[in-house]
Structures are given as C-alpha cells and as structure tokens.
Structure 1
Amino acid sequence: MRFLHLRFPRVTSLFVLCGGLVAVLLGRTAPAHATGGQLVDDYRSVYGTPGVAAAVIDGSSVETIVRGRDGDGDAVTARTRFRIASMSKSMTATAIMLLVDRGRVSLDDPVVKLLPDFRMADPRFTGITVRHILSHTSGLSNDTNNEYVFPPLRTAREIVAALADKTLAAAPGTHAEYHNTNFSIAARIVEVMSGKSFDDFLHTELFTPLGMTDTSSTLGCSDRAEGLSSGYEVVLGVAVAAPEMPGMCVGNGGVISTLDDMVRWLRFNQGTLGAGLLSAGSLAELHTVQPKAGDHALGWQARPVTAGAPPSLVGHGGTLATWTGDMVFSPKTGVAALVLTNGVGDPGLLSTNLLAERIGAPVTPMSNPLTVVNAVLLGLTVGMAALLVTAIVRARRWATRRRAARRPLPALRLVPLALVTVLSVVLPMPIWGAFDVQYWIVTAWLMPLLALFCLTCCVLGAVALGRRVRCYRRAGQAISAPAQPAMVDG
C-alpha cells in the first residue's frame, strides 16, 4: 500500500504485509484480463475512492478513464484539479536541472555554496550537494528533523532556517532516506539562483512552456486554491469530504494539476513534448538511479512491473491525507500510466497495473488492508466503550466489595484501568516512528478510527479510574464515620 509510503514508510511496510494476507484470505483480485476501465472500477470498489482520473499513454494515443465525483459533488473530468502531492518532486528536480542547463547550478555543488545561510548543528552538512538532496542521500532524516510540527513551516526560507539546530542521521552520500525537506531546500535554491519565487519559476519556466495551463503550486499542503475542491476521508467504504491536513509542501508536494496537464508532464519526461526546454542529457539524468540512493533517481524512482522483477520502470507517487496519485512510464516501451485520486488508497498499484495490462505483463492483485484494520479498530472501540462504561456504572458496587474484602488491594485493582488510560495516550505516537504529542494530529487525519479508539479508551478510562477512586474513598468514610445517636422525645 503506497498510501502512507511517502511520509510514513514504517507503517506502510506493515500495511503491505496485511494487504497481502487480506488478498489471500478474501481472494479479492483484479480480473486476470482486465481492461483499463475495469482496473479503475475494481480499484474504486476495493478502496472506496470517490473520484479517479487515470490515463494510459501508448505512443501517440492516450486512453483517458475518469470515474466518480469531486469534493463538490461534480463529475470528475480530465480537467478536474487534484493535489498531486509528492509527484511534485519531479517538477522541483526539473526546475533545478533547468538551472543546471543554464550554468547557474551544478549537481555536485555544495548546497552551502548556493545558500550561504544554510546551516546545521552538524559539521558534515557542508558536504551535502545538490545531487544528494535530489536523491534523498543528504543524511537528513525525520529522526533528527521532525517534518510534522504544528503549525507547519510555510516558506522554503523558513524550512532552511529551521535546520540550524538540527543534525544529520548519516554522512552525506552514504545512505538513502526519503525526506521531504530535501526538496524544500531544492525549492529555496531555485528561488535564490533565479531571483523568482518558487511558484513563479515553475509557472513561467516550466508549466507555461509545456502548456500546463491548469497547473499551479502552493506553499502549504492545505492552502486554498482556485478551482480545487476538497479531498475525501474514506473509512470502511464511507467517504466524507474533508480538509487536507496542514503541512509544509513547498518544493516537495504543493503542486495542483489535472489529468490533461499531467499527461503533458509525462510526455515531456518521455521526450515527446517540449523538445529544447531541457537538454537530452539533463532529462536522462533525472531518470537515472543515483549512487548510494537505492531506487532513487532525481525526483523519480526506479520500480518493477511486478513484485520481484528487476526495476524497468520510472515513476513516482504522491500521498497526502485526502489525495493520492501516481505516475509511471517504461523507457523501453514508451508506455506510461497516470492516476490521480481524491481519497486514500494505493494508486501506485493501479498505475503499474494499467501499464502492465497495456504491455501484456501480469496484473498484481488489489486489496485494501485498512478495511480489515478499520473493522478491527471499530470492533475494539465498541467493545472497550462497553467495558469502560460498565466499570463507570458499577464503580460504587466495586468500591463496596473492595472495602469488604479481607485484602482489598485497591491500588493493584486500579492498575488495568490506569494502563488503558495511559497507553491510549501514548499509542498514536510510536506508530509513526517517534514519541511526539503532535502525532496525535497525524493519527486523527490518517487513521481516524485509531484516534477514536484511543480517545475512547483515554476519556472513559480516566472517568472510570476517577469514579472508582472517589467511590472507594466515600465507602471508607461511610465505614469510619461514628453512628449518630437516636433522638428521644422527652
């Protein structure tokens, strides 16, 4: 499942495993010889996605597939605007390569040479190059630079300045770790070296020359934009239009586009549109896996057609709380696929399946692990609520029995309720990789039923704990209070 991959890879690994088990247990697979439209319909059925805009590019032909509705209830079309999230990184990398072609930047320039104000509390930061940040090998990590602070930073300048007291998790150029801040640094380089705002540079130097007239970008992930309706939260097949989670998106995930414009973007990367905008060598470099970078190229990634096969495709996905998308193409065959959605899911699987169907490769089964996860969480929430409400209602009876017992041990008897209350507060944090209260906000957006479960346990657990303690004290006071003498009439 790529839904959480781009920002929360640890959780994604668990969900991918769950998804495989669900596929085996439920037998939910895409048809063996599905057409593009059938694959999209099956995807919507599996994930409950309200709106999908997809395309398959094969030579000069483009198959367009649109389904469902946008956040305003209107039918999705090829000109419906979607947030493309981390697919934006390919555009940021291309903006850098435009500056490379113009002699303003070199991929092996140290970042500090281009951004004299760039500082970190780690002497190794001076070795970070432009190539490192575009291939996620800078050494930056969420372990030492939490990207999910609230309120989020907005401008590229602010994001770079905030690194002054941060350290690196690895020496530059030695280890790949996906980190969005890398591309916010790249956006700042574009601003400084071009003298334009990042959005203005993209508009004038990239989108307009390519005819991408409905494409723009925002600083924040949740900023309002003209013609952009809301995305959706989807839980157990129920879709609810919801605002996007606030976050820093400049350079790494702020682009808003349409299916028509993204088809032009893929054609440009295939070398069939915008000839002369970028040199052939620079375009090829964007798609080339970099040293020590795993499967990372520059704003792109290498990937296989099917699991276990060698990487033969170039692609990139995008994930926010209420928007997901993916794009992929085969340099060998020229076939490309594109998926934009306004809900959560695994668009990377759909885009790869669309491409595989076109070239005659096996289609990978689709399943949604969150269906089972959410069903379990809902059941646990209802069950825990019933148990804790019962504990609250019967607190007086519990206190009376404890007072009457030979060995009451009240503190020991309260431990289970205390554990439920404390653990429910802590649970949402380590799931995302760190103990930080701010991850409660992330949980509320990305896994609302987990947040509901934890909130139920926390509130009802605290109430049950407090009521038992209070009733126990009152029972003790009643036992120790002296009996009042009876009044006798004289």
Structure 2
Amino acid sequence: MNTPRMLPAFPTRSSGAARLVLTLAVLVATAVPGAPPVRADTGAEGLVDAYRSAYDTPGMAVAVIDGSSDETILRGHDGDGEAVTEDTRFRIASMSKPMTAAAVMLLVERGDFALDDPVVDVLPEFTMADPRSREITVRQLLSHTSGLSITTNNEYAFPPPRSAADVVAELSDKELAADPGERWEYHNTNYSVAARIVEEVSGEPYNAFLASELFAPLGMDDTTATLGCSDPAEGLASGYEVVLGAAVAVPEMPGRCVGNGGVVSTLGDMVRWVRFNQGALDTGLLSEESLEEMHAAQPGAEEYGLGWEVRPDPAGGDAPLVAHGGTLATWTGDMAFVPDTGTAVVVLTNGVGAPSLLTNNLLAERAGVETTPMNNPLTIVNAVLLGLTLAAGALLTTAVVRARRWALRRRGARRPRVVLRLIPLGLVTALGLFLPTLIGAQGGSFSFQYWIVVVWLMPLLVLFSAVCLVLGAVALTRRIWCYRRLR
C-alpha cells in the first residue's frame, strides 16, 4: 500500500493508494458536517487517549523519550485479544526504510561501494528498458530520486513478487519517469532494489543480514524482517480494519515489502532504534558522519534524507525533526526525534490512522506548545459511503423490480429516446466498475487489480462500487430485455 508527499494528516507509506484515501477523506469531510474534533486532556496519556478515541484504534504502544528517560503509554489489545505491552509485535511498514538505509551504510563504511556509485556497478543484474537507468546511483535509490515511478512501475500488481531479486527482475522491461536525480518521488521499489544490493554485496539474505549485522548489535532481539507485507512472523497477531468504530482483525494485504516495509518490531526495540539514531547508544555500529548523512535532506530530494524524512518541528524550533511514518492496510506507526535535544516519540498502532499527528502533538505538549485537536476524516467518509450504498441499493433494486413497468411506458417511444433514458443506469454501472481503479489512475497507473487494494483500504467504497456495478448492470439488462420483449 506507497506515498508521495502527503498532507500532514496521513502518514507516509505507499504511493497513490494512501494518497487517494486521504484525498477522498478531505473532500468529503469538508463537504459534509461531521463530529467535532476530540480534544485531549493534558499530558501525554490524554493525547494518546484522544487519538485512540478519534481513530477507534484497537491497540497502541507509545513512547515519549526525553534524554535518557522515556515515558511508555500502552493501550488496548492485539489481534489475538492480548493486552498490548512493550513486547507486543507490530508491523512498522515504511519505518523499515531507515533500517535498509542503515544496512547500506554499513556496507559503504566497510568500503564495499560508495553512495554515488552507479547501481549497475554494484548490482549487475539491475537492468531496465530505459538506458538512463545505468546512471542511477545508490544515493538516488535511498533518497527516492532515481526516476522510478508508479506511473511506469505498478507496485500493486498481483500476485506480488516474493523476493528482492524478483522485484529487480520485474524492472527489466520498465521505463523511468524522469532522469535520475531530476525529481523526488516516493516509490517503494527503490528500497527493494537497495535490499537486493545488501544481499548481493554481503552474500546473505536481506533479513539475515539485518538480524546479524543491525538488530543483534543494537540489542533489538524482538525485531525481524519479512519479505512480503502479509508474511507471518513469530508472535505477530493480525492488525485491524476499523470502519465506523467497528474493528475486525484481518490479515494484512499481500504486497512487496522486502526492504521497504517488512520489519516487525516492538516498542522496546524501536526505542533502542531511535536512541541509536540519536547517538545515545555507544555501539560504534555507524559513524556519526554516516548518521548525519542519513538524517540530512539529500540533493533534489525535497525534505527526504537517506531513509528518513526531514519535518518542521511542531514546537516551532529551528532544528527540524528527523522522522518517518509507516502505513499498511491494517497497521500504522510513526517515529521522530529532535537531533539537538534528545526528545523523541515512537507511535505503533494495529489499525489505520494518522500517527504523525499524535507524534506532533506529543512533541508540542512536551515543549509547552498548543496541540491540535484530533479529528478522523475517514469516519465522515465511511458514513457517507454507507449512506450512498444504502440509497443506491434501494434505488437500483426498485429499478430492477419495476423494469417491466418502465418498458411498458416506453414501448411506443423511438429507440434513440429510449437509449437516452438508459444512459443514467449505464453511468451508474460504469461508476461502480471504475471507481476503485481511481486509486491507481490518479497516480498515472490504471488496473482493475486496484479492486483488491481497495478491499483493504476502503471496504465501504468497494461495497458501494459493487452495489452500483451489480445492481446497475442487472437493472440495465432487465430494462433492455423487457423493452425488447414488449416491442
């Protein structure tokens, strides 16, 4: 589920899919009056409770780090009904990207290659139909400036590839959307290629390299990496679909997560990860210079570093945040720290939401700055979709039942006029067929496979589309059949 830069209310993960969900939410939320925002009580716990109330999140694990101390806030339960603890496992989605970047930097520091080396020199199997691909550097992969794009490489094709090698092989007939280094576009495949570089150079599988060379030295003993977004992991319960307050534990949507979103971790381990990036763990794993390079905005990459985002400080400080969010269909999370102060926040949830909003509020509250009331626009979107589905179902069922009466009234009419009368039903049917595909079309990629994506991202949109498509087609067919019989 991948994101180009999105509005602040929705975390980064996947490109067009999450962006369209947010766009729909904002459009409908501004057009339809909704419930008032949830205002938080004072303190970090009040902010977490306000967020959970707004998004109906089943389980949350949050840490607010201040220097050498941290405040842990645990709420709710996992997909097996067990209470959330510091050791509860969560999928961290695109918060995995900084870990892939760190793995690459380990190899760079060992002298295996340089950040500005062409990918083809480091990974000879990397080939594309576009000759410009030979100019892509490792740095450009990690900063999303390679020219890879959803417009020429559909990351939501089913079945998804099983490994980093498969992702690289799929690129052999693909084109670039821009010259390498010309523009920034968040595209998960960049990090799957980076994961394949780690495998090729180290001689180890990607997940094994992370386990032995990154997680073990940092003491992240409960963290592992999966290749697919829905691959099982030891101790990991299902995440949740949450619609209008109803939470249902469901398997994660299948997808290509190797290198870009497949890490499974715990709050305790993620606190260690953030502390390492703050330079607070004396492991000697990466040099201070390498960490600073990862955290700094890269050339042509807008506000993106090497696996990290650079965000404005919600407390109004001059130093920006170093941060990254993560969004899958049933998991969301966010992490951010202020390099100069040692203040940081980690948010892990097993439902859909906007954890970056909570991160900003927690940092603002810690700095004594006014926080933002919590509001979930998807609640309004889903309520509107449910109402539209019920209305469409009633109207189209009536059209099916009264098809013969409709034909009787028009049996003497000329055919062109009858055809005109059928156009509204045809449009409703077409709307049902094509509406889920807009998730890809708005990003330049069209496929009916996006129906599968929308089943996870917005189930009520699929229900509305299915009602329009099926009942619209039945009503249209029955009207034509009745008209021809009476003629």
Same fold (TM over 0.5): yes
Q: 1:74 is matched with which residue: 62, 66, 82?
A: 82
Paired residue for 1:28?
Answer: 37
Distance 1:451 1:70 in 2: 26
Q: 1:260 is matched with which residue: 265, 268, 271?
A: 268
Paired residue for 1:336?
Answer: 344
Paired residue for 1:155?
Answer: 163
Gaps of 5+ in 2: 1-8
**8 Å contact kept, 2:90–2:349:** yes
Quick one: which amino acid aligns to residue 486 of structure 2?
A
Paired residue for 2:198?
Answer: 190
1:253-402 pair list within 5 angstroms: 253-306=261-314, 312-402=320-410
Paired residue for 2:485?
Answer: 474
**8 Å contact kept, 1:319–1:325:** yes
Distance 2:32 2:308 in 1: 29
Paired residue for 2:221?
Answer: 213
Q: Give the stretch that moved more between structures: 254-263 or 19-28.
A: 19-28
| Change over 3 Å in CA distance of 1:353–1:403 after alignment to 2 | same
1:334-378, CA deviations, whole angstroms, 9 ceiling, x for partnerless residues? 100000000000011111211221122331222111111111111
Distance 1:391 1:101 in 2: 69
Paired residue for 1:464?
Answer: 475
**8 Å contact kept, 1:22–1:369:** no
**8 Å contact kept, 1:139–1:169:** yes
**8 Å contact kept, 1:23–1:366:** no
Deviation, 1:12, is 5.6
**8 Å contact kept, 2:25–2:378:** no
Tell me the SS of whatever aligns to 1:331: coil
Deviation, 1:405, is 4.8
**8 Å contact kept, 2:13–2:328:** no
Paired residue for 1:139?
Answer: 147
**8 Å contact kept, 1:96–1:105:** no
Deviation, 1:309, is 8.0
Deviation, 1:475, is 1.6
Distance 1:225 1:445 in 2: 20
Paired residue for 1:441?
Answer: 452
Paired residue for 1:410?
Answer: 418
Distance 1:324 1:249 in 2: 14
Paired residue for 1:14?
Answer: 23
**8 Å contact kept, 1:305–1:361:** no
| Change over 3 Å in CA distance of 1:179–1:310 after alignment to 2 | farther
Distance 1:338 1:346 in 2: 13
| Change over 3 Å in CA distance of 1:19–1:312 after alignment to 2 | farther
Q: Give the stretch that moved more between structures: 80-89 or 275-284.
A: 275-284
**8 Å contact kept, 1:92–1:252:** yes
Deviation, 1:472, is 1.3
Distance 2:303 2:191 in 1: 17
Distance 1:406 1:121 in 2: 54
Deviation, 1:34, is 2.4
Quick one: which amino acid aligns to residue 23 of structure 2?
L
Distance 1:24 1:403 in 2: 45
1:431-460, CA deviations, whole angstroms, 9 ceiling, x for partnerless residues? 333321011111111011111000000000
Q: Does 1:455 align with 2:466?
A: yes
Paired residue for 2:124?
Answer: 116
Distance 2:176 2:216 in 1: 37
**8 Å contact kept, 2:322–2:336:** yes
**8 Å contact kept, 1:306–1:364:** no
| Change over 3 Å in CA distance of 1:271–1:385 after alignment to 2 | same
Quick one: which amino acid aligns to residue 286 of structure 2?
L
Tell me the SS of whatever aligns to 1:474: helix
**8 Å contact kept, 1:207–1:213:** yes
Quick one: which amino acid aligns to residue 169 of structure 2?
A
Distance 1:406 1:42 in 2: 61
Deviation, 1:287, is 0.4
| Change over 3 Å in CA distance of 1:274–1:16 after alignment to 2 | farther
Quick one: which amino acid aligns to residue 463 of structure 1?
V
Q: Does 1:241 align with 2:252?
A: no
Percent identity, aligned pairs only, is: 63
Quick one: which amino acid aligns to residue 471 of structure 2?
L
Taking structure 2 as the reference length, the TM-score comes to: 0.94
Q: 2:179 is matched with which residue: 149, 167, 171?
A: 171
Distance 2:324 2:32 in 1: 24
**8 Å contact kept, 1:86–1:317:** yes
Q: Give the stretch that moved more between structures: 409-418 or 151-160.
A: 409-418
Deviation, 1:7, is 3.0
1:80-119 pair list within 5 angstroms: 80-119=88-127
**8 Å contact kept, 1:22–1:368:** no
Q: Give the stretch that moved more between structures: 52-61 or 11-20.
A: 11-20
**8 Å contact kept, 1:19–1:367:** no
Quick one: which amino acid aligns to residue 14 of structure 1?
T
Taking structure 1 as the reference length, the TM-score comes to: 0.93
Distance 1:332 1:22 in 2: 42
Distance 1:91 1:421 in 2: 45
1:358-402, CA deviations, whole angstroms, 9 ceiling, x for partnerless residues? 122331222111111111111110001000000011111111111
Distance 2:105 2:130 in 1: 28
1:163-185, CA deviations, whole angstroms, 9 ceiling, x for partnerless residues? 11111111111100000000001
**8 Å contact kept, 1:5–1:12:** no
CA RMSD for the aligned pairs? 2.0
Distance 2:156 2:416 in 1: 46
Tell me the SS of whatever aligns to 2:411: helix
Larger Rg: 1 or 2? 1
Aligned length: 475
**8 Å contact kept, 1:235–1:374:** yes
